[in-house]
Chain A
């Protein structure tokens, strides 16, 4: 073992750690809020502070939710487990044998005082959190007969890019929607900021070089395609498709 490691760790921890001027996470949130202009001093500090930049990335990814298929599957599995545990509470199941060796919070979770009302309140908290994270404006009321229905779910399937890709994509492709005269394509950051948009009559569009250069490794971006008919009415819209350029392997 290397006896010198603790000294080096101490130096690096001091140099990389938070300083007196580092903002709290509530202030860092302003950097991710769509439509708000963060104070110049805040942006300048984060630019020069590795600790704050790391914090902003963690916060951004937390807001973005799972961005890999494996994560999505894990989230689903965890949701099922937590739901099963809460079902156990509702049914009044007794703890299994050997439960005394379990962590305190498992016992807490099974406590008889932890009633359905409390669980319902917790569920409301989760729903509110999800609601706050969802930045989709409420759908406008649509009078009967006002035009063709806008198909949302899978009406347009974006075929590329999607998921993890090896390099910045040169184009965006999708399956054509019946009756579509033109399409509008939007490239978004995960906080909803629009990076680029374009309109085309084809089922693909080239991404300009200037935009491609902003598609950097490890940064998740979103893509959405809307279809319009001859009269300019929106007739279909795709889901927002995530993609990300993989980090390049380290080359010593």
Chain B
């Protein structure tokens, strides 16, 4: 997940330390391993998010550049015409399993793409980035099918 043993060892130590300090909060409502997972998950996500805010996350920057000028139109069209619930349904219907997971980890958990690639064990050349690009194109097509806001905006610009 972190991509190097040094930081993974530090994180593992940190997780066990937190577990040890908070052992009293384990009430037995779930398996101990699940409780330990929740600590490890939160700690690792925090670490990866903080890394993403540091300079040098070139893959994510490249992804931003990949987004064309239609991005605003996509978000506006989807936002205007769909409630959160129906937008969830559209995502569910249009994205495949891996795309949905990659998008969730990238946009909700805000993990950098290289971490997602390692986390999900993606073997393709460009890793998670390819799935984000693919998912966004699908969503753009949906926005285009919704049609009128985009076309009217474009025609207004002409």
Contacts and interface: CB of A to CB of B under 8 A. Distances in A.
B65 A248 contact: no
Contacts of A252: 130, 133-134
B145 interface: no
Given A62-B40, A122-B16, A82 B9 contact: yes
B104 to A, nearest CB: 5
A29 interface: yes
A49 B104 CA distance: 10
A5 B84 contact: no
Q: Among B17, B100, B108, which residue has the most Cβ atoms of chain A within 10 A? A: B108
Given A26-B29, A108-B17, A126-B16, A4 B71 contact: yes
A12 B94 CA distance: 14
A40 B107 CA distance: 28
B48 interface: no
Given A4-B67, A25-B38, A50-B101, A82 B134 contact: no
Interface of A, helix, strand, loop or mixed by DSSP: helix
| Interface size classification for chain B | 35 or more
Contacts of B59: none
Interface residues of A, number: 62
A173 interface: no
Interface in B46-81: 61, 64-65, 67-69, 71-72, 74-76, 78-79
A15 B64 CA distance: 19
B89 to A, nearest CB: 8
B41 to A, nearest CB: 6
A2 B37 contact: no
Given A54-B100, A54-B104, A249-B123, A15 B87 contact: yes
Contacts of A2: 64-65, 67-69, 71
Contacts of A7: 71-72, 75-76, 79
A244 B156 CA distance: 52
Given A8-B71, A125-B19, A62 B37 contact: yes
Looking at A11, A57, A109, the one whose CB has the most chain B CB atoms below 10 A away is A11
B105 interface: yes
B103 A12 contact: yes
Nearest to A73: B5
A164 B71 CA distance: 37
Contacts of A4: 67, 69, 71-72, 75
Contacts of A62: 33, 37, 40-41
Given A8-B71, A82-B16, 20 more contacts: A1-B65, A3-B72, A4-B67, A12-B75, A12-B107, A16-B100, A17-B104, A25-B30, A29-B34, A48-B92, A50-B101, A50-B103, A54-B105, A81-B5, A81-B9, A129-B36, A132-B32, A218-B98, A218-B120, A247-B124
30 contacts: A5-B64, A8-B67, A8-B74, A9-B107, A10-B75, A12-B103, A15-B87, A15-B91, A18-B108, A19-B88, A26-B29, A50-B92, A51-B104, A53-B97, A53-B100, A54-B100, A54-B104, A54-B105, A58-B119, A59-B37, A77-B5, A81-B9, A82-B12, A82-B13, A85-B13, A118-B20, A218-B121, A249-B130, A250-B130, A250-B131
